[in-house]
Amino acid sequence: MSYLDKITSPTLLLDEKICRANLKMMADKAQRHRMELVPHFKTAQSRLIGSWAKEYGIKEITTSSVKMTKYLLGDGWENIHIAFPFNPREVEKLDELASSQSISVQLINTETTKHLASTLSNPVGFFIEIDAGYGRTGVDSRDYSKIQEILDIAKNTPNLNFKGFYLHPGHTYYGNIPAIYEETREALGRLKKEFKPQFPHLVTRTGDTPGCAVVEDFGDIDQLGPGNFVFFDLMQAYLGSCAKSDIAVAMAVPVVDIKKDRKEILVHGGGVHFAKDVLQNEDGSMNFGELVYLKDDGWEIPNDGSHLKKISQEHGLLKASDELLGRVKVGDLIGILPVHSCMTADCMGEYLTLDGNWVDHAEGPKN
Amino acid sequence: MSYLDKITSPTLLLDEKICRANLKMMADKAQRHRMELVPHFKTAQSRLIGSWAKEYGIKEITTSSVKMTKYLLGDGWENIHIAFPFNPREVEKLDELASSQSISVQLINTETTKHLASTLSNPVGFFIEIDAGYGRTGVDSRDYSKIQEILDIAKNTPNLNFKGFYLHPGHTYYGNIPAIYEETREALGRLKKEFKPQFPHLVTRTGDTPGCAVVEDFGDIDQLGPGNFVFFDLMQAYLGSCAKSDIAVAMAVPVVDIKKDRKEILVHGGGVHFAKDVLQNEDGSMNFGELVYLKDDGWEIPNDGSHLKKISQEHGLLKASDELLGRVKVGDLIGILPVHSCMTADCMGEYLTLDGNWVDHAEGPKN
């Protein structure tokens, strides 16, 4: 029986071979640069995929919430880093996690550092997050006095251990990658030089998928932390981080209506399945995902312009090529490559492999 | 203890008083027009909120998936209508639901009608969905031959019972509401006249929140089916369907950093909590939600321009007024009115009332 026979409603397919090739590619790249790969697991959010990652030498991972960390506990990770400016209301939950697992958090201000210092009963590591220059979060890389203030609080707190500097250059998604990485190398290199005398073991970490995919000069940065590369997606393909054939997930959606005259196909699959990230086609129209033909051993990418042009809560409307209109009928399944795989996986809460096995995700199944 | 003391991470608050007032307002409006209100429960997706709806005379509800229907089963609804072009791969699940609950589905083509006719072992009602003119789904209102074909299949099938015509004018969100409702009245009135001789008990239903909120002439339409009005949201407020004070849900988010110089506040609350629906401010900037101040008995709407200007998976960055910057500190909670409450509720999977009680949602808790 094919995995396709199991599917009655929108289902996120995972091609294990592609996913493993992506893990291996990035692990090889880190090794080539004598860096450690600490992938961000906000994309996969899966214990099984974590076990695959270990086969490629990955020993530590990153999450973006206390909750996600709790889900990934107990799998023997040497450390789990929560890469989000720590929310002081979660200090009790953190303390509990830290009683059984090596955990690090991200700090960007003295208020939260003081709160942790006065509350924790278990040891927790921390990175100071450095503002990458696009203003989402982090301390300015030249604000040594603020950095020193945070470090001084930690110095007097046995349970708060400084690990290094973390810089996420998320603006590579729309900026000039070589220029951004020049700034990243400069900022992290300078901070290392400045604070290494006080903290000889500090490490520096950076990593976003577009940058880690194409950059070959990481200077003296110690660790890479990309997340999305585990699956990739259409956004990454259009940025040049991957080929469409490197995308490891596709949504299987049932065809519910066909309008040949309008060259449109209506599927069950909308915003609650894909999330609402969107690309713009060259002609200005919207692209919420692109067609693939599902086969027993994977999917075929036609590249004929068939794409989701409109979605609502549960509906998806495809602009369909003549080939697609000729090949499918109501009740068939087609595949859609997602625009942003992290958000799509979070919506769906599980994966189905091409062997017909369900793979876990922190959110739990949608269906 | 205030409900606020329970909150450590993003939490969707529900003000029961506002929600009940919204239910009553729409039930009163339907009664005034001698119409039946059959609300779409894709917004609330909640059994408890369903029980509130019953107190205002609501006897039937609508869902947008088989899965949502399954969740709402067993609460004594006279009928549950699945307002999505039926997906033939789910016929077995439907048949099972129909063994214990009066169910109706939506049909728009002969393929699915035939499939249901040949498969169902339990009686199921159906509406024919009429294309409202914005091309998402449905049969053209003048395509009598296609409508007759569907009806002819059903006529010979004791388990497939025609109930009437359903038209969802979703383009009221960006079109001229009076003109759209003139077309809606005309189309449904004409179809009723045409098919009533064959089906004397057929009913017509329409309903989207912007239209149902402001239109006062529904012609001979029998039923109203809006969904979003149960909570409303910022999109509806800006469309003029409600006041901001009618919005029944707000996300409580923890403040994790404050940048006074940039007039920005960073909160834990991003795309996985709010979804990514967005409004555009008058100056062209983005608005992913607006600030409210949380109090023990509800929230206060400052209307001072403080809003979420940027979100990523877990981060939310607010443009903050001087008042906001003066009032909050790291670790505090602030409230955010959502842009699109249906999607936000679906992301969060539960609600917290101002009495500190958790309210169920079909998706189940996020935290």
Domain spans, chain B: 3-12+242-360, 16-231
Work out whether the CA dihedral A282, A285, A289, A291 comes out positive or negative.
negative
* Average pLDDT score, chain B: 96
CB B365 within 8 A of CB B349: yes
Please report residues of B whose CB lies closer than 8 A to that of A330: 88, 109, 111-112
Amino acid sitting at position B331: G
pLDDT confidence of B207, banded at 50, 70, 90?
Answer: confident
Q: Do B313 and A64 touch (CB under 8 A)?
A: yes
**Host H or E run for residue B347:** helix B341-348
- With CA atoms as reference, the chain A residue closest to B114 would be A330
* Cα separation values, B7 from A73, B1, B313, B360, Å: 23, 12, 20, 17
**DSSP characters for B81-94?**
EEEEE--GGGHHHH
Virtual torsion, Cα A103, A109, A113, A115, nearest 10 deg: -120
Chain B nearest CA to A65, separation (Å): 8
Write out chain B residues lying below 8 Å of A42, CB-based. 313-314
pLDDT digits (tens, 9 = 90+) for B241-276: 999 999 999 999 999 999 999 999 999 999 999 999
A108/B8 Cβ within 8 A: no
d(CA A69, nearest CA chain B) in Å: 12
Q: How far is CA A206 from CA A40, A136, A203, B19, B98, in A?
A: 11, 15, 10, 46, 54
Q: Per the CB < 8 Å rule, is A266 touching B137?
A: yes
Beta-carbon separation of A89 and B9 below 8 A? yes
Cβ–Cβ < 8 Å for A106, A126 = yes
Cβ separation of B136 and A108 shorter than 8 Å?
no
Q: Considering CB atoms only, which of A65, A112, A266 is closest to B330?
A: A112
- Partner-chain residue, chosen from A88, A115, A268, that has the shortest CB–CB distance to B87: A268
Instruction: State how far Cα A13 lies from the chain centre.
Output: 17
Of all residues in chain A, what percent carry a pLDDT higher than 90? Answer: 94
Q: Report phi then psi at A131, rounded to 5.
A: -60, 120
pLDDT band per the 50, 70, 90 thresholds, residue A171: confident
- Percent with pLDDT over 70 in chain B: 99
- Amino acid at the residue A312: S
Question: Residues A267-303: pLDDT tens digits?
Answer: 999 999 999 999 999 999 999 999 999 999 999 999 8
Q: Which site among A105, A136, A261 would you substitute to test the B interface, given the most B Cβ atoms closer than 10 Å to its Cβ?
A: A136
| Topology annotation, domain B3-12+242-360 | Lyase, Ornithine Decarboxylase; Chain A, domain 1 (2.40.37)
* DSSP β-bridge partners for residue B253: B334
**Domain B16-231 is of which CATH architecture?**
Alpha-Beta Barrel (3.20)
Tokens found for residue A157: 């707190």
Nearest C-alpha in A relative to B313: A343
> Distance between CA A232 and CA A238 in Å, rounded?
11
Give the closest-approach CA distance of A153 to chain B in angstroms.
17
- pLDDT tens by residue, B14-73: 999 999 999 999 999 999 999 999 999 999 999 999 999 999 999 999 999 999 999 999
Q: CB B256 to CB A85 under 8 A?
A: yes
Q: Considering only the beta carbons, identify the residue of B88, B333, B342 that sits closest to A330.
A: B88
Q: Pick from A88, A268, A271: which is nearest to B84 by CB? A: A268
Min Cα–Cα distance to chain B from A32, Å: 30
DSSP letters spanning A139-205: B-TT-HHHHHHHHHHHHT-TTEEEEEEEE--GGGGTS-HHHHHHHHHHHHHHHHHHHTTT-TT-EEE
Looking at residue A43, its pLDDT comes to 98
Fill in the DSSP letter of residue A6.
G
> CB-based contacts of B20: which residues, under 8 Å, 6+ apart?
B52, B55, B56
Six-digit token string for A187:
């900022």
- Give the number of beta-carbon pairs within 8 Å between A and B: 154
Confidence (pLDDT) at A365: 86
User: Residues of B with CB below 8 A from A86's CB?
Assistant: 256
With a cut of 70, say whether residue A41 has pLDDT above it: yes
What pLDDT sits at residue A56? 98
Helices (H) and strands (E) in chain B, counts: 12, 20
Q: CB–CB of A175/A140 below 8 Å?
A: no
Q: How confident is the model at residue A362 (pLDDT cuts 50, 70, 90)?
A: very high
Percent of chain B with pLDDT over 90: 94
**Alpha-carbon distance A49 to nearest alpha carbon in chain B (angstroms):** 20
Residues 6+ apart with CB under 8 A from A112: A85, A86, A87, A88, B256, B330, B331
- pLDDT-derived band at A366 (thresholds 50, 70, 90) equals low
Q: How many angstroms separate the CA atoms of B121 and B126, rounded? A: 15
Could you give the ipTM of this predicted complex?
A: 0.95
- Per-residue pLDDT, B367: 52
Residues of chain A contacting B64 with CB distance shorter than 8 Å: 313-314
pLDDT tier, B196 (very low <50, low <70, confident <90, very high otherwise): very high
Check residue B231 and give left, alpha or beta (phi > 0: left; psi -120 to 50: alpha). Answer: alpha
Looking at residues A49-73, what average pLDDT do you find?
Answer: 97
Q: Please state, in angstroms and rounded to a whole number, the distance separating the CA atoms of residues B361 and B357.
A: 13
Residue of A nearest to B346 (CA): A272
Residues A346, A351, A353: CA angle, nearest 5 degrees: 155
Longest dimension (CA), chain A: 73
Buried-exposed string B170-191: b where 16+ CB fall within 10 A, e elsewhere? bbbbebebeebbeebbebbeeb
The band of B303, judged by pLDDT with boundaries at 50, 70 and 90, is confident
Query: pLDDT of A237-260, one tens digit each?
Result: 999 999 999 999 999 999 999 999
